Amino acid sequence: MKGLLETVIRGLGNGSVYALLALGFVIIYKATRVISFAQPALMLAGAVAVSYLAGVTGFYLAVLLSALLIAGVALAIERVAIRPMVGRPVFVVAIITLGIDVVVRVVVNGFIGRDVRQVGDPWGFTQVSLGPLVVQSRWLAMLLVTAVLVTLLFAFFRHTRYGLAMRAAAFDQETALAQGVSVGAVFALSWGLAGFLAAIAGMFVGTGQGIEQMTWVIALKALPAIIVGGLDSLGGAVAGGLIVGVVESLFQSYQGEFAPWLGQNFAIVSPYVVMLIVLLVKPYGLFGTREVERV
Amino acid sequence: MKSRYALVSIAIVALLSACGVIRGDDEGSKGGAQAPGVTTEPCPSAVDTKKGCIYLGTVSDLTSGPFAALAVPITDAQKAFWARVNKAGGIGGRYEVDVTKYVKDNKYNPEVHRQVYNEIKDQVLGLAQTLGSPTTAAIIGDLKANSIVAAPASWTSAWEFEDVIIETGSNYCVEAMNSVDYAVETYKPKSVMAVHLAGDYGADAAAGAKVAAERNKLTFTNVETPSGATEQGRAITEITKNKPDLVILTTGPADAATIVGQTAAAGYKGRFIGTGPTWNPALLQSPAAPALKALYEQSAPGKPWDADTPGHKAMREALPGVTPNDGYTSGWAWAYPMKAALDKMVSGGDVSRKGLLAAVKTLTSVDYEGMLPPEAGNYADASGASVFRQTLINKVDDKATTGVTIAKDFFVGPTAQAYTFDGPCYTKL
């Protein structure tokens, strides 16, 4: 039982990171109907920024500055490469984001160099005791920070003018425009928020093990998370991320014992299996909005 | 709903592309010249313009692959090695060697490796470097068909059976056998676990560890793990759950640091011995550094950067101002057999691919200027009988230039001594 709970906490920790990334995907999708494949590059850029700034400003300030910096980068990307494409098919814009991902990663790789870079986090591999459980402190940090960010984000959407504008634009762009909502500002804000969250996620990915040029691949795990949770649901993104993290962690710990016939390392594909099962049962994800199409 | 299909399609394309499944078409070969890669014109940066030029190709992991931190120093060291050869009079007083014109990036992807190899193969006599085991496996058929001699940048046991490959230093299989034997002598383990990447890097070492475990009557378990520091959860769980006395690691350096750091944090107190590529001096700055110092040793096919041999000294002098890395050391050492073979080819008079291969087949020893024993360069017998079986054990030492110093000099353990090589080890795991 102790092992199971420790496994679940590890899963929730890693799942929090996937949730932050998934939130970025969903926020941009809700505002623009585009899946932004630039998230992996923004995540990596955030982690690299922290690794450079931590030695100068201290770790916590470096995280804040890096997240703001990457939010700024995301804003710039949106203004330069995405805004001119408004009105074009979303598929085309999604492909453009793939290109942006490659370009940003090439630039960021130059800053990473060929060795592993450390983000200078205070957690390392230290462990803490939670009653009888012994867990890594960085997992708790991931979980706690994600909980705070998600709470703030939901409060922002519910209680602020810009949050309301974003919800209105997501619901019906034309009507929102007619009511005086600046849809352009909503697009920009969604990219900025996604960049901010990706940078925090990147920093957490780098804790303990550091970052290297291939670290961006982790961000792809947010894709099954958003499908599981529902492409247009913020709550779904959080739930999806946590589910993916926990499922992966459980497979890592127990598959060898209970289902060795699945072969070694089934944990890698387990999020995609969950995604397929959810798609079969609920095609719009656990919390996604069912689309009604007139024929 | 449409966007959902679009997302799934793009996600699949992105994944396949990331995995290297989707690539451009290969270029076909462009037909051979009489003696490809040999000209009477001088090399582009010739020391003596009266000499002809022998072009050697390099296909390495130069940008984004997992071994770029080793591959770039390997390539730079080989450029310095051949510049030194050229300055010292070249090959047989008639040719200089160029390894700078045909340098290609394989991104550690077999498909890309084959593609870029095809782009340069008609312009080179041989390959000064073909980095990686699975990548080189993608071109081995063509190398053999065209008698193209290649120096590998990998240590899989498959190369012992290929006469076009001039390997240097013991293979991963021997390295793991010696590591287990060393641990039996030093730490008296009762159980050993091989944690390894898939394929002929990781599985080769795991197979060697298995053979040595059986010979020493140790219980053996085998855990295949994916590449990527964040993917090591299962390997960590297997180690902390089963608590083997000894773990033989065959992964990349970031993976190794994660595994050692996290298992140590969870209270594991066994020993780790990692193959050569599991170490990188940057790990001393990682949170895993205390655990690495306490529990980890590196097995290696050659001596580290600081070693006191004429070859090491020449390398250090030829590479002033670089940040030391044992990629340089390996790259430099890998070049000696090619130089010996080229010398023999030119003195024999048949300056061609076939002439070079014939020269390789008569090499029974190579002067490594003390970096390795001369018998490491025995290519006259590709049956497996002449496999070089000496390796070293290094320990982490933050005062050493590349973070490691020799704990046990070149030795052969009883398992490797008695083992009969009748095929690549990784096929027997």
Summarised one tens digit per residue, pLDDT across range A68-125 is 999 999 999 999 999 998 888 889 999 999 999 999 999 999 898 877 899 999 998 8
CB contact under 8 A, B261 and A125: yes
What A106-110 contacts at long range (C-beta under 8 Å, 24+ apart), as own/partner pairs, is: A108/A41, A108/A44, A108/A45, A108/A48, A109/A213, A109/B63, A109/B64
User: A160 — contact with chain B (CB < 8 Å)?
Assistant: no
CA distance B85 to chain A (A): 28
State the CB neighbour count (10 A cutoff) for residue B1. Answer: 10
Chain A hits for B63, CB-CB cut-off 8 Å, are 109
Average pLDDT over residues A176-196: 92
Q: B148 in a domain, yes or no?
A: yes
* Minimum CA–CA partner of B195 in chain A: A264
B contact test, residue of A209, A213, A220, A227 with most B CBs within 10 A:
A209
Domain membership of residue B20 (yes or no) is no
Predicted local distance difference test score (pLDDT) of residue A292? 75
Closest chain A residue by Cα to residue B227: A214
Answer whether residue B7 is part of any domain. no
Kindly report the average pLDDT of chain A as a whole number.
92
Residues B353 and B402 in one domain: no
| pLDDT value at residue B3 | 56
* Residue A172, burial from CB neighbour count under 10 angstroms (0-12, 13-18, 19+): exposed
B201 and B316 in a single domain? The answer is no
Query: How many residues are listed for chain A in this entry?
Result: 295
Q: B315 and B350 share a domain?
A: yes
**B250 CA: distance to closest CA in chain A (Å):** 16
Taking the Cβ of residue A137 and every Cβ of chain B, the question of whether any pair is shorter than 8 Å is answered with no
CA triple B393-B394-B399, angle to 5 deg: 165
DSSP B23: -
Residue A81 CA to residue A104 CA, distance in Å, equals 13
Q: Do B11 and A223 touch (CB under 8 A)?
A: yes
**Are B134 and B216 in a shared domain?**
no
Tokens encoding B196: 């390894």
CA distance linking residue B377 with residue B381, whole number of Å: 11
CA distance readout (Å), A148 to A66, A119, A152: 18, 21, 6
Q: Is A111 on the interface with B (CB under 8 A)?
A: no
Query: Are residues B233 and B354 both part of a single domain?
Result: no
Together in a domain, B204 and B348: no
pTM for the whole thing?
Answer: 0.86
Tokens 């928020």 sit on residue: A193
B193 lies in the same domain as B137:
no
Q: Is residue B25 part of a domain?
A: no
Q: Let me know: does B260 contact B294? Beta carbons within 8 Å.
A: no
B386 assigned to some structural domain: no
Shortest Cα distance, chain B CAs vs residue A33, angstroms: 8
Helix, strand, coil % over all residues of chain B, rounded to 5: 45, 15, 40
| Residue B14 exposed, middle or buried by CB count within 10 Å (0-12, 13-18, 19+) | middle
Tell me whether residue B380 is in a domain: no
The ipTM, to two decimals, is 0.85
State the DSSP code for B26: P
Same domain for B248 and B349: no
Disruptive mutation site among B225, B237, B295 for chain A (greatest number of A CBs within 10 Å): B237
Task: Give helix then strand counts, H and E, for chain A.
Answer: 11, 2
Model pLDDT for residues A10-63, shown as the tens digit of each residue: 999 999 999 999 999 999 999 988 999 999 999 999 999 999 999 999 999 999
Q: Determine, yes or no, domain membership for B352.
A: yes
- Do B288 and B311 fall within a single domain? no
Name the maximum alpha-carbon separation found in chain B.
72
pLDDT by residue, tens only, chain B of 429 residues: 455 555 555 555 554 444 444 443 333 333 334 589 999 999 999 999 999 999 999 999 998 777 787 899 999 999 999 999 999 999 999 999 999 999 999 988 999 999 999 999 999 999 999 999 889 999 999 999 999 999 999 999 999 999 999 999 999 999 999 999 999 999 999 999 999 998 888 999 999 999 999 999 999 999 999 988 888 989 999 999 999 999 999 998 889 999 999 999 999 999 999 999 899 888 998 999 999 999 999 999 999 999 999 999 999 999 999 988 889 999 999 999 999 999 999 999 999 999 999 999 999 999 999 999 999 999 987 677 789 999 999 999 989 989 999 999 999 999 999 999 988 999 888
Same domain, B297 and B252: yes
pLDDT for the residue A247 = 96
Assign residue B98 a region (left: φ > 0; alpha: ψ between -120 and 50; beta: otherwise). Answer: beta
In chain B, the number of structural domains is 2
CA–centroid distance for B17 within its chain: 26
Put simply, the answer to whether B1 touches A136 (Cβ < 8 Å) is no
Do B404 and B346 fall into the same domain? no
Q: Which two tokens stand for residue B58?
A: 């390099």
Q: Which residues pair with B64 in a beta bridge?
A: none
Write out chain A residues lying below 8 Å of B230, CB-based.
Answer: 14, 205, 209, 215, 218
CA distance linking residue B91 with residue B85, whole number of Å = 8
Res A263: pLDDT: 85
Please provide the DSSP assignment of A250-285 as one string. HHHHHHHHH-GGG-TTGGGTHHHHHHHHHHHH-TT-
Cβ count within 10 A of residue A60: 11
How far from chain centre, in Å, is Cα B104? 17
3-state secondary structure B101-129: CCEEECCCCHHHHHHHHHHHHHHCCEEEE
**Shortest Cα–Cα distance, B379 to chain A (Å):** 34
DSSP per residue over A71-124, as a string?
Answer: HHHHHHHIIIIIGGGTTS-HHHHHHHHHHHHHHHHHHHHHHH-SSPBP---S-T
Chain A nearest CA to B175, separation (Å)? 24
CA-based nearest residue in chain B for residue A123: B287
Chain A partners within 8 Å of B257 (Cβ)? 116, 209-210
Is B107 a member of any domain? yes
Return the pLDDT at B8.
Answer: 56
Which of A29, A106, A214, A250 has the highest number of chain B CBs within 10 A, making it the mutation to test binding with B? A214
- Domain residues for the domain of B282 are 172-302+391-428
In CATH, what number is assigned to the domain containing residue B347? 3.40.50.2300
- The percentage of chain A sitting over the pLDDT mark of 70, rounded to a whole number, equals 100
Reading phi first (left if > 0) and then psi (alpha if -120 to 50, else beta), residue A180 is in: left
B14 CB neighbours in chain A (<8 A) are 37, 98, 220
Number of H helices and number of E strands within chain B? 14, 13
Cβ separation B265–A127 shorter than 8 A: yes
Taking an 8 Å cut-off on Cβ atoms, the answer to whether A267 and B8 are in contact is: no
Kindly state whether residues B115 and B96 are assigned to the same domain: yes
Question: Quick one: pLDDT at residue B11?
Answer: 56
